Amino acid sequence: MEIVIRINGKDERRKAGTIAELVAGRGLAPGSLVVEYNGRIIKQDDWVKVMLRQGDELELLNFVGGG
């Protein structure tokens, strides 16, 4: 089933799934990623439990260290 969700301010049409599947599908490194889901920060341990639904809003924040 396809759904439309907003990721970092842009609407995207994609297959329904979990946050973990979204992150893996984008090839993102989970170790430096923070996911905000509908205004709440979701712990990485819970990414496999949260199913994405029509109209959800996510912010994917990737932290990079530097000097």
Distance separating alpha carbons of residues 49 and 41, to the nearest angstrom: 14
Query: How many CB atoms lie under 10 A from the CB of residue 57?
Result: 14
Q: Is 4 helix (H, G, I), strand (E, B) or coil?
A: strand
Which structural domains are found in the chain, ordered by start? 2-62 (3.10.20.30)
Model pTM score: 0.90
Distance separating alpha carbons of residues 45 and 20, to the nearest angstrom: 9
CA 29, 32, 21, 54 torsion: positive or negative? Answer: negative
**pLDDT-based confidence at residue 1 (cuts at 50, 70, 90):** confident
What is residue 67's predicted lDDT score, i.e. its pLDDT?
A: 62
